[in-house]
């Protein structure tokens, strides 16, 4: 089922962020990957890997997915979800915990899903 396939990719992404594995993250991201973070900054594949895995600008402690919904369009899947994150922000000099609404787009090639685009924003308070 498509939801479980995408949940597996998202779990691998969260694991790569926690372990700061640039190599594992690189295999999950499409070469033309583009992402807009919650601060409105646009990142390509290299910048996303640098921020999340290499530079220490963000050091993820956890990332949990909830309310995952996925729609498949041929070899493309669009997922919306809530992300419950905990990370250290070098910019802010402190631990940050927050809930974010995220949209991720995936493409399937050679039987494998890759993350091709995403956008995240702070989730509204209930």
Q: What is the CATH number of the domain that holds 102?
A: 3.10.450.50
Q: Which domain holds residue 81?
A: 2-122
Q: What is the DSSP string of 25-64?
A: HHHHEEEEEEEE-TTS-EEEHHHHHIIIIISSSEEEEEEE
Where is 9: in which H helix or E strand?
A: helix 2-19
Q: pLDDT (tens digit, 9 = 90+) per residue, 30-86?
A: 999 999 999 999 999 999 999 999 999 999 999 999 999 999 999 999 999 999 999
Does pTM surpass 0.85?
Answer: yes
Taking residues 86-91, report their average pLDDT: 94
Element (H, E) at 82: strand 76-89
Q: 62 - beta bridge partners?
A: 86
Q: How many domains does the chain have?
A: 1
Decide: 77 and 103 in contact? Cβ < 8 Å: no
């Amino acid at each position: 089922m498509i939801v479980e396939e995408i949940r597996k990719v998202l779990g691998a992404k969260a694991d790569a962020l926690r372990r700061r594995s640039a190599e594992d993250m690189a295999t999950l991201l499409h070469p033309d990957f583009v992402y807009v973070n919650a601060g409105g900054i646009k990142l390509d594949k290299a910048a996303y890997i640098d921020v999340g895995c290499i530079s220490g600008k963000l050091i993820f402690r956890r990332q949990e997915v909830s309310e995952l919904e996925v729609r498949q369009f041929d070899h493309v899947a669009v997922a919306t979800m809530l992300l419950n994150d905990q990370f250290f922000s070098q910019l802010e000099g402190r631990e940050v915990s927050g809930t974010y609404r995220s949209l991720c787009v995936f493409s399937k090639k050679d039987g494998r899903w890759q993350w091709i685009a995403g956008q995240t924003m702070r989730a509204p308070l209930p």
